[in-house]
């Protein structure tokens, strides 16, 4: 008899149904696993033997062949331990094969038979639900993550013995495991009520920078902050996370899939309910930023999907690392190709970069004199290529604080909570506008949508004609100014783009440099 056990594997951020076929024959004892298993899958032989023995059942002294079908997909990870063990027990009639037909199994086995958690449960559960599988046995630590998926019941198990007892061929030994359920909306609502760790009300001065960051959050625009050391660039960046709009359920689930396969998901809070804020060190490699490896894994840009990638002291990053950002900034995804596989990961993030204006940091400073020569300053800025700068919608200076601002004698700053309310209102306007377009923010508009939603009056056209001639705007820069103008109009709750919206958008391009 051949036992068929349903399970799944991960490719990219998506799950794929796998059929674990188990056959036991009268031959020399041993276990053979076929179907492109990796080392972790092949090593399951010893874990399965010990787990079945410590569960109180003899391991068959026969030849066991396990095929993970389809055979042309590489199988990775330890999540196949449980389905393979269940298949062996089903062939030995310890488990009733008829009882497991509607179930899928995922889990790593310890030598004593207890179940350990695995990565990638959410995309696996989604894939199984799409295939019509309605019941899933999981390790207890993974059950909350699996319960996020509608249309599938998840059953928590702590030990192989619990699984055996649930599907025992002996009716007297059967012990039911109750399914686990959660309310997804509770996780999202809890995150919305959290107070930000850094608040704009604690940032002294820098009203123009705060306005620029509000616009960036409202439209999903990239932003570059340039200013003297100590002006507040890093603090502004940390406060930026507190004004980001909440995640929608679809965005939260997609982000959770990414963190699940990366092994970064918090077991206590299985749903990513806040937009990510990733801040890699400037020693990061291109593969660490973009993703990679023999079996390509997500990089920082994918971990920042639907959130922010903050590059502090951006010019200290190797130029080759910065250049790999150009295509993802334009496309919103990255394709990592290797000899044996090609994986596409989402990478729709906001780039937030900060830098000094020159090597010594005081070029243009009102108090300290810059000691850098023009050629040094030019070489410093040349680390950011023109094509990369062209993809940054907002480029502003963050000046040194005045005495009155440092002493905080002026009126208190606006809180992040108030700014976030305007950001959310602008995002709601965009969500309504793009209901049928498949996007959620102004920064995602393509040329066709720009033409449709960024219609200009004659006065606006005249201003843009003058700007094109005077500043030599590229086609990309022109489109990004229109997108930013649309965001400014949304912040003002204006139906049409006005001339003052265009004028403000032009001020946020570092044209003088």
Q: SS3 string of 78-91?
A: CCCHHHHHHHHHHH
- In terms of C-beta density within 10 A (0-12 exposed, 13-18 middle, 19 or more buried), how is residue 489 classed? buried
Of 3.40.50.670, 3.40.50.620, 3.40.50.1000, 3.40.50.300, the CATH number of 189-432 is 3.40.50.300
**Could you read off the pLDDT of 384-432 as tens digits, one per residue?**
998 999 899 999 999 888 777 777 766 678 899 999 999 999 999 999 9
Return the beta strands (E) in 245-332 as ranges: 277-278, 291-292, 297-298, 308-311
> H/E element holding 29?
none
User: Rounded CA gap, 163 and 100, in Å?
Assistant: 10
Helices and strands counted in the chain (H then E): 22, 18
Provide the b/e sequence for 303-314 (b: ≥16 CB within 10 Å). Answer: bbbbbbbbbbeb
DSSP state of 92: T
The DSSP secondary structure of 185-232, one letter per residue, reads HHHHHHHHTPPPSS-GGGS-S-HHHHHHHHHHHHHT--EEEEE-TTSS
**Domain boundary assignment for the chain:** 2-182, 189-432, 445-513
Each residue's pLDDT expressed in tens, for the chain with a length of 513 residues? 799 999 999 988 899 999 999 999 988 899 999 999 999 999 999 999 999 999 999 999 999 999 999 998 889 889 999 999 999 999 999 999 999 999 999 999 999 999 999 999 999 999 999 999 999 999 999 999 999 998 899 999 999 999 999 998 876 677 888 999 887 777 666 655 567 788 898 888 888 999 999 999 999 999 999 988 988 899 999 999 999 999 988 899 999 999 999 989 887 788 888 899 999 999 999 999 999 887 788 999 999 999 999 999 999 999 999 999 999 999 999 999 887 778 899 999 999 999 998 998 888 887 888 888 888 988 898 889 989 998 999 999 998 887 777 777 666 788 999 999 999 999 999 999 999 998 999 999 999 999 999 999 899 999 999 988 888 888 888 999 999 999 999 999 999 999 999 999 999 976 444
pTM (2 d.p.)? 0.89
Per-residue pLDDT at 193: 59
Q: Which fold has domain 2-182?
A: Ribosomal Protein S5; domain 2 (3.30.230)
Does residue 270 contact residue 253 with C-beta atoms inside 8 Å?
A: no
Cβ contacts of residue 426 below 8 Å, gap of 6+?
218, 219, 487, 490, 491
Per-residue pLDDT at 511: 46
User: Rounded CA gap, 334 and 332, in Å?
Assistant: 7
Q: Is 409 helix (H, G, I), strand (E, B) or coil?
A: coil
Q: What is the separation, in whole angstroms, between the first and last Cα of the chain?
A: 75
Q: Which two tokens stand for residue 430?
A: 């965009």
Does residue 115 contact residue 157 with C-beta atoms inside 8 Å?
A: yes
Backbone angles phi, psi at 126, to 5 degrees: -65, -45
Does residue 141 contact residue 157 with C-beta atoms inside 8 Å?
A: no
- In terms of C-beta density within 10 A (0-12 exposed, 13-18 middle, 19 or more buried), how is residue 63 classed? middle
Crossing angle of helices 475-491 and 458-471, in 10° steps, is 140
């Amino acid at each position: 008899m051949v036992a068929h056990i349903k399970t799944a594997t991960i490719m990219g951020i998506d799950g794929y149904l796998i059929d674990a076929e188990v056959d036991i024959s009268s031959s020399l004892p041993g276990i053979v696993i076929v179907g492109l298993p990796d080392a972790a899958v092949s090593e399951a032989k010893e874990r399965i033997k010990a787990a079945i023995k410590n569960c109180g059942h003899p391991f068959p002294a026969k030849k066991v062949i396990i095929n993970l079908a389809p055979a042309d997909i590489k199988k990775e990870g330890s999540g196949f331990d449980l389905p393979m063990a269940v298949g062996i027990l089903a062939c030995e009639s310890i488990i009733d094969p008829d009882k497991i037909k509607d179930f899928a199994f995922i889990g790593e086995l310890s030598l004593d038979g207890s179940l350990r958690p695995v990565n990638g449960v959410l995309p696996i559960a989604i894939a199984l639900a799409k295939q019509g599988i309605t019941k899933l046995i999981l390790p207890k630590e993974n059950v909350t993550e699996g319960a996020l998926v509608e249309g599938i019941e998840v059953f928590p198990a702590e030990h192989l013995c619990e699984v055996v007892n649930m599907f025992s061929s002996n009716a007297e030994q059967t012990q039911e495991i109750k399914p686990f359920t959660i309310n997804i909306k509770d996780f999202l609502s809890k995150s919305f009520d959290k107070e930000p760790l850094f608040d704009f009300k604690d940032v002294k001065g820098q009203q123009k920078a705060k306005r620029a960051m509000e616009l960036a959050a409202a439209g999903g625009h990239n932003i570059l902050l340039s200013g003297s050391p100590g002006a507040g660039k890093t603090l502004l960046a940390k406060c930026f996370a507190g004004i980001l709009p909440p995640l929608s359920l679809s965005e939260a689930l997609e982000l959770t899939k990414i963190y699940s396969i990366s092994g970064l998901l918090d077991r206590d809070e299985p749903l990513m309910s806040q937009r990510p804020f990733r801040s890699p060190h400037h020693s990061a490699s291109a593969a660490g930023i973009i993703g990679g490896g023999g079996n390509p894994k997500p990089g920082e840009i994918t971990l920042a999907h639907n959130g922010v990638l903050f590059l502090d002291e951006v010019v200290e990053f190797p130029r080759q690392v910065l250049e790999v950002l150009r295509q993802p900034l334009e496309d919103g995804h990255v394709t990592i190709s290797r000899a044996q596989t090609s994986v596409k990961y989402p990478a729709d993030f906001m780039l937030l970069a900060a830098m000094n204006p020159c090597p010594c940091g005081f070029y243009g400073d009102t108090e300290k004199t810059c000691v850098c020569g023009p050629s040094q300053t030019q070489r410093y800025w040349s680390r950011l290529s023109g094509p990369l700068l062209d993809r940054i919608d907002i480029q502003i200076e963050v000046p040194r604080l005045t005495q009155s601002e440092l002493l905080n004698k002026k009126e208190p700053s606006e809180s992040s909570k108030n700014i976030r309310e305007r950001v959310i209102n602008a995002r709601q306007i965009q969500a309504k506008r793009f209901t049928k377009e498949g996007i959620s923010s102004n920064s995602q508009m393509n040329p066709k949508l720009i033409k449709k939603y960024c219609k200009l009056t004659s006065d606006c056209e005249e201003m843009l004609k003058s700007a094109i001639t005077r500043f030599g705007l590229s086609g990309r820069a022109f489109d990004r100014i229109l997108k930013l103008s649309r965001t400014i109009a949304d912040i003002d709750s204006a139906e049409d783009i006005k001339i003052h919206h265009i004028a403000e958008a032009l001020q946020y391009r570092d044209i003088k440099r």
